[in-house]
Amino acid sequence: MHRAICARSKNSPSALQLAFRAGERRLETCVKRPQTRRWMRELGLRSPSVKVGGIVYFGRLLDKIRQHAKGQLPSDYQANLGRGFDSSCTKFLRIDYNRLIDRVKEGGSDEEILQWCFANGYRPSDDEVYVWNEFMRKRGWNDELSEILKRRKKEAGMAGRSEIQTMFTFIDADEGRLLVGNQKLQPTPD
């Protein structure tokens, strides 16, 4: 789902770039494959924590489908399309992933697509949405994904980042939405 951050080494000193702007430390990350090398924030993928219709991850799922349809989703992300959190989200809404792809390709706002999911799948109650959000937000923290999170942090050169305790915070850090303590730092525009 995510690629390891290009590590700064004696062999490739410019692979990992550190920038200091406005007194905030920012870590610019890059994809390891040269053909997809670009700043992570330019991918156009929302944080998994962003809600659409009150539901976390759904907006990111739509972003991935849209980017893939345009041929702009890096290959590192393509292997897990429809799997992992994508699958969890479509199962929660009881909608077939391939039908969702077709619907997204037809166009429409995020909210319109979510309403389509409710009409063709399942409309969860407010309580179910709350439980879903809290469950997803904590994935990787003392559960069966903990070892995967630990491995991914190590591969990405973030093993020492104690503030990254969940898969959502890992994704945010991996894509350049850094965390310092409990404060999220959004990258500043160039």
pLDDT at 54 over 60: yes
Higher pLDDT, 97 or 76: 97
- Residues counted in the chain: 190
> How many beta carbons lie within 10 A of that of residue 136, not counting itself?
20
At residue 180 the predicted structure's pLDDT band, cuts being 50, 70 and 90, is low
CA 18 – CA 34 distance, rounded (Å) = 19
- Beta-bridged to residue 3, according to DSSP, are none
CA 181 – CA 166 distance, rounded (Å) = 14
For residue range 69-89, what is the model confidence (pLDDT) as tens digits?
Answer: 999 988 888 888 999 999 999
> pTM surpassing 0.75?
no
Compute the average pLDDT of residues 144-159: 95
For residue range 14-47, what is the model confidence (pLDDT) as tens digits?
Answer: 222 222 222 222 222 333 333 332 445 567 899 9
